[in-house]
Structure 1
Amino acid sequence: MSESPITILHIDDNEANLYVIGRMLRTAGCRVMEAMSGEAGLELVASQPPDLIILDVQLPDINGFEVCQRIKSNSKTASIPVLHLSASFVESRDKAQGLESGADGYLVQPVEPMELIATVKSLLRIRRAEESALSLAKEWQTTFDSISDGIGLLDEEGRFLRCNTAMVSLLGKPLSEIIGNLHQQVTQTLLSSLEATPFRKTKENRCRESIEVKSNNNWFSVTVDPVFKENYSFAGAVYILTDITNRKQVEAALQASEERFRLLLENVKDYAIFFLDNQGIITSWSAGAERLLGYQEAEILGQPGSCIFTPEDLEQGEDKKEFSKALAEGRAENERWHIRKDKSRFWGSGIVTPLRNETGQVQGFCKIMRDFTDRKQAEDERNQLLAREQEARTTAEAANRLKDEFLTTLSHELRSPLNSILGWIRLLNTRKFDEVTTARAMETIERNAKAQVQLVEDLLDVSRIIRGKLQLNLRPIQLIPVIEAAIETVRPTADAKQIQIETVFDSQAGLVAGDPDRLQQVVWNLLSNAIKFTLQGGYVIVRLERVDSHAEITVTDTGQGISPEFVPYVFDRFRQADSSTTRKYSGLGLGLAIVRQLVELHGGIVHAFSEGLEKGATFKVKLPLVPDSVGVFAVGNREENAKLLPVLKGVRTLIVDDETDSREFLVAALEEFGVQTIAVASAGEALKALLELKPDILISDIGMPFEDGYSLIHKVRQLTAEQGGQIPAIALTAYARDEDREQAISSGFQTHVSKPVEPDELAIAVANLLLS
């Protein structure tokens, strides 16, 4: 019947009835107490009050009607529902007698379980409703009495029908002398000076009437609100009586204070003092403000205080920030440029403080300002001189530093291939080698000589390394040939120190998008460092393996190692471990810095690890793999720098564009490159396709009806990775400004392509996004 079982007391001297009725009630989830006489039942009611009583009429001691009367006459038990259930007293007069004795219901035996349980439920619902109504009435009366103003309800003649305790206290009369009497008579002593009551005007005009009256050195407010019947005829009024003596005294004191303050404002000339309301509207203006800002009081009152702020400060919302800071911190101090009435500017130092009433509520703001323009101009001139001097010094230092860095990097780049050339030449001049070794030596010399030529041609690229703007010639490549070429470059140096180079290559490591020359430079630098810091007879291990979606190159040596304190700085330009290392090993600390720059330009990362000095070091380079679906082929009759266009066979691409012609063009253009396209016309369709079809890449228009591309990518990025939330995305749009591109990238797209777009350009954009 309910979540918490109800308790029912069954009073009946018939054991069979007790059993049958008890079984019905327990089956319905009730807890049942039983008594076989009226007195026993009354004792249980007093000691363990039940939720409901089922009472037989014919009992051995006192009949059920009397038991019911005694229950209902006791205030503690009167609210318990009583249900008569009798097999003997079944006539209508019996039922009438039972109900008149206070019973809430009457059933005759035999009774069906359904009827009994339904009746019990009904009686319990009625009881709960009565309790709720009683509680509500008590709450209303409590609220009514808690109001500090005197409140009374008058009938249409002006007689009191009801009033709260505050009214009784104000009138100083017992409730019996108030209820039923005319309000004019009841309030005559308290409001002796009141000539006409507002009640009559309220009855005539049918609207609220208020009046303030002074009586015996006290002030009172009388407010009368009309009350209407359903047909809008006058039914009476709500009469509100409030003692406003304290308020009147405060108002008088405030008026005197305002007069004194007005006199003060009129005589302060060096300060601009003015007041604003909570909306920032000027409400008061001093003579000093007139002199400093140029506005007369009559023309500035009612204007926003922001009118004295400069346009650039208004654009940044400084006027609103000033109020926010004053509210948060109790005051806001600042110095800034302001504008006078004649549009001239002055440097003003100001303080804004919030004005609060006695309850702490903000009533407005006060702002006090002084003109510090002369001081500001002197400070600006001094700062400008200092800034010009510092700028000149910084420019000179930066120019020298850039020159030194450029020359040092250039020297480093030129020495790298020279090492192999000179090494092999010395070996060939001092030893006899077989034809195979000699041929390998000559091949290495020739290759590095060509690298010298390439380095001379890339001198401008070296300067871009320093500025972080080196351009790479990316293409899908295998890393094993790149690593082997770097090993061949350093092998003469390793052989000279009897250092063994071991290789462990995973032939299935996959392709990376890289510049082979620059990646060879990365591996060469790592190997050179490993050999340089490894003692004679040591070894270096070079590994290539596939780890998830990355190719990982690891170079491990048994050399000097790196102290834990220096590991975080090992890739910083010009950094050396310590002075002793500097003395023992030559170098300018550029190699690893170049490694990090080149690896990061390839979208990878490089880390250094070492357990400490004399424990060797390990360097790991991670480069992103090219997706298996991406290949390249050369088209047309091209020279060495032939344009490469991608093969995107099997790449599933979701296209979103509300323009039918544009959508069909994109489908046709991409299918030429082997793309499997899914084309939809709205953001809603796109989300559904993304969740159901799991495409590899998303191409979306920006300007679309109902929901644009920015909203679409925002919803996509809120999805989990499994749902497609990390799908690579291209914004393809006719909005082609720099700020449009920045907005697209910041919204969640990786690439921005402007319309109109060539098929080749679009395919390359798709391939580059997949490669990255």
Structure 2
Amino acid sequence: MTISASATILNVNDDEATRYLSTRTLTMAGYRVLEAGTGEEALRLAEQERPDVVVLDVKLPDISGYEVCQRLRARPETASIAVMHTSATYVTPDKKVRGLEGGADAYLTEPFESEELIATVRSLLRMRRAEQELRRRAEQLTETDRRKDLFLAMLAHELRNPLAAITTAVGILERRTSVDPKDGRMVSIIQRQTNHLARLVDDLLDVSRITRGKVELRRLRVDLRGVLEQVLTTFHPLAEGRHLKLESRLPAMPLWMEGDTTRLEQVFTNLLDNATKYTDAGGSIQVRVELSPAGDGSPGALVRVKDTGIGIRADVLPVVFELFSQADESLERTRGGLGIGLTLVHNLVEMHGGRVEAHSDGPGKGSEFVVWLPLLPAASVSEQEVVLPTLVKRRRHILLVEDNADARQALQDLLETWGHRVEVAADGLRGLELAVQRTPELALVDIGLPGLDGYRVAAELRAKMGHGIRLVALTGYGGTDDQSRARQAGFDLHLVKPVKPDELSRLLSEL
């Protein structure tokens, strides 16, 4: 075996004769050898020289070799150095165990043959190099993962700007009466495909955040039945467009639980999207809800989403919730999708304290996804929590700060169609000037603005106008850190592009 001349060994022993013999053996084997006669000197040399291996006698005049080893392991700069204990007196099994438990990588009893010393050093060097290679690869993977997350965030931001403009423009077209029925069909197609693209962007980012533990639920008391009704209302037109029969059977009373409304909607949107994607025209989708207490008697609900689609093979069922797993693996990829929707479903359901299962009798026999979620005890839901807010509509004075020309024009037209008075600015500095001069009651501010970004605009407006203006962030960045930064800058709300017209209308009504 060829030995690298760059390998450095620190030989620590207070007995000069023993230290000399070990140093000579190691030097003749091609190693660079440093010497120390005390524990403190060994620690100083280890920190300065960073040797590859320390050959460390247990019995030293100042501090024991056990303590030297522990202190080496405790310091980040010396923690990875390989340590081999040697001793002529501390040779009982309990002493060896103490040394190894204290952080040593090997233990030799003196006297030892030179071949045994060299072989042990070589073994430790191989181990150290393997650890260094693993650490280097781990650092590369961490950096690659960081760059991937940064790329996904930038990609989502760039995709959401045009999606925001398209969504807003379609919202305007939907409210106009057209003589030609084809126009209405084209608008519906654009709206459905834009919503689909927006969901893909959200899923792509969410699966990255969830796998890194970066998603936190905004837990509130939520009516699960209301969540399902909202999702079903959204999917009825899509099902009709695909010539599918969408049936539902929901309980008459509310199903109160503690959860995140947005994430729960995401769960059932993905399940219904999956069902419509894998069910051909003429098929059917059923959504049923059953009360199902947990094993300890606590309340719970089962939500069943069953379709008559292409089904799932038996070998795919065990991995259907794994990332990038798909039922349609044909070269044609006629069903589309990224293979991440069910991974999101599984993780989000578990984050709510629930579970999800997939069932199918095989190809061509449809599939069923069953979600169990815990419900709140009836006594914990007060009467006030079932009262819905009253929506009050009124004309408002709005400042829109957006650098994307298409998105700015489309959103301005939509707001003016609703009767609002709108001021517009293409950059942060102009937006700040208009806000101070015209004193709008609400400012919709993009974050990625030239010159003065949205965070600085918000901070300046809060400093100049206090709470006399409501600030809403419009951005393609939707991570938890982005939301926290928006709140710290002074924003009242954080909306992720593209914002659906109905959501924006509701926001203005509830303001």
Please state which structure has a larger fraction of its residues in strand: 1
Larger radius of gyration: 1
Structure with the greater relative contact order (CA < 8 A, sep ≥ 6): 1 or 2?
2
